[in-house]
Amino acid sequence: MNIRLDIKAFNALSLDELYKVLWLRDIVFVVGQKITSESEVDGLDPECHHALLWNGDHVIGTARIFADRQPSIVGRVAVHPDFQHQGLGRKLMEHIGIWLAGRPSELHAQAHLEDWYQSLGWTRHGDIFVEAEIPHVMMTLNLTKEPQ
């Protein structure tokens, strides 16, 4: 594999890169998890920086980061189904953690991934809630703990 990682502001994305990000999120969330496309394309992407995990010319992982919010918010974390369970999501999230450079940050994690996010230094706050018909938990990045 020829893996590389980028994080770009929305306006710095080429049309091809934006298409690849939206296509990947469609494959993971709409097709794979049966989330309606209406909630997926929510009009908020222009406010975000976008993490891109590349394998050659293919975007195989992505996330969006509301970097200008306090706290920063990480969301839409997705890895192509053909590349899941290979440690690539961990690489993507570790890269994002470094890029966040200690800024207070939060995310809404799918509840079944809570332990995985905890292993990356995120801490759960509050009860399980439903978002896009999937159980989620709110998590914050623990700034004093290194990823395991």
pLDDT tens-digit series, residues 17-71: 999 999 999 999 988 888 776 677 788 999 999 999 999 999 999 999 999 999 9
| pLDDT for res 145 | 47
Is there a contact between 100 and 141 (Cβ–Cβ < 8 Å)?
yes
In the chain, domain spans: 3-104
In tens, the pLDDT along 104-129 reads 999 999 999 999 999 999 999 999 99
Report the predicted TM-score, pTM, of the whole model to 2 decimal places: 0.89
Does the pLDDT of residue 130 top 50, yes or no?
yes
Does the structure show a pLDDT above 70 at 74? yes
Order of strands across the sheet that contains 72-79: 3-9, 49-55, 58-66, 72-79, 105-110, 134-141, 122-131
**CB-CB contact of 143 with 104 (8 Å):** yes
Please state which CATH number belongs to domain 3-104. Answer: 3.40.630.30
Res 143: pLDDT:
60
